[in-house]
Amino acid sequence: MRIRSFVIAYILVVAILLFADRRPSLISQTHYSHVVDLTDGPSPANARNIGDSKTRIIAPAALVPGTWTAGQIPPERLVAPLVVMDLDTKSSSSAQISLDDIAAWETVHGMIAPGSLIAIRESDTVPMRLRPATAPLPIDHDAAQFLIAARSTIGFATETPVDLKNDRSLALQLALHGNYIVEAASRFTKLPETGSLVIVAPAKNLKQGQAQVRILAMVR
C-alpha cells in the first residue's frame, strides 16, 4: 500500500509539472538550472518506500476539521514561488521570525510575491541532533498573520516538526486561509532566498490531515 501511495505521489508530481508548464508567468519565462529534493530521508532511488521519509504535510484538516485534507488541496496551491528566510538565533534570543525580520528581508529582496510558500531555514550553529523533537512554528503569531493576510501565502516549510497546540488562534487562521505546513524538510542551505519554484506532492487520494509528502524545488 505504501509503494502504491509513493507511485501515486510521483504521478502527481508529473501532473503538477504539466500544469505548471501551462503557467507562462512561472515557468516559460524563467530558466531553472536544477532540482533540489527537499524531502528528508533517503533519496527515492535508495528508499524502499515513502515510509522512509520524515517529511510530512500538515493540511488544513489537521488543524480544523472540515477543511482541506492533504489530498483535497487544489493543485494550483501545490506549485508556488519559494521564499527562503533565515532564522538567525545568533543575533536574537527569539526562536521565531518577527515582523521586523520580514521587513528587513523585503528591504533586501523586494516584496514577497503573493501566493508564495515560505521556507524557514534554521541556523547551522544548532546541530540537527540537538534540535527539539517538535517546536512552535518558527515564525511568531503576528508575522505569520501578516504573511497570510498581506502576502497571501499558501503555506510554510520548516526543518523541525511543528506543534501548534499552544497557538490555536494561528492554527485556525492557517486552516481557514487554506495554508498548510510541510514539516521536517531538509537541504534548505542549497536554496537561494528567491527565484525558485516549489512543488509539494501529496498523494491525490489522501483523506488524512497529516501525511508523508514529497517536496521539490526548481532552482534558477
DSSP calls for 121-133: EEPTTS-GGGS-S
DSSP calls for 169-213: HHHHHHHHTT-EEEES---GGGS-SSSEEEEEE--TT--SSEEE-
Residue 28 has pLDDT above 70, yes or no: no
Each residue of 56-76: b (16+ CB within 10 Å) or e?
Answer: bbbbbbbbbeebbbbbebeee
Residue 58, phi then psi, degrees to nearest 5 = -100, 100
Residue 208 confidence (pLDDT): 82
Residue 89 has pLDDT above 50, yes or no: yes
Which residue, 190, 187, 185, 191, is CA-closest to 213? 185
Quickly state the pLDDT bin for 16 (edges 50, 70, 90): low
pTM of the model: 0.79
Quickly state the pLDDT bin for 52 (edges 50, 70, 90): low
Span 149-189, pLDDT tens digits? 999 999 999 999 999 988 999 999 999 999 999 999 999 99
**Amino acid symbol at 115:** G
Distances (CA, A) of 143 to 16, 84, 200: 30, 15, 23
Domain range enclosing 85: 2-219
**What gap in Å lies between CA 64 and CA 130, rounded to an integer?**
31
Which residue, 51, 41, 50, is CA-closest to 12? 50
CATH number at residue 66: 3.50.30.50
- Output DSSP code: residue 59: -
User: Looking at the 3D structure of the chain, how many domains does it have?
Assistant: 1
Quickly state the pLDDT bin for 53 (edges 50, 70, 90): confident
Name which of 42-46, 72-76, 107-111, 175-179 the model is least confident about: 42-46
Residue 131 has pLDDT above 90, yes or no: no
Q: What percent of the chain has pLDDT over 90?
A: 60
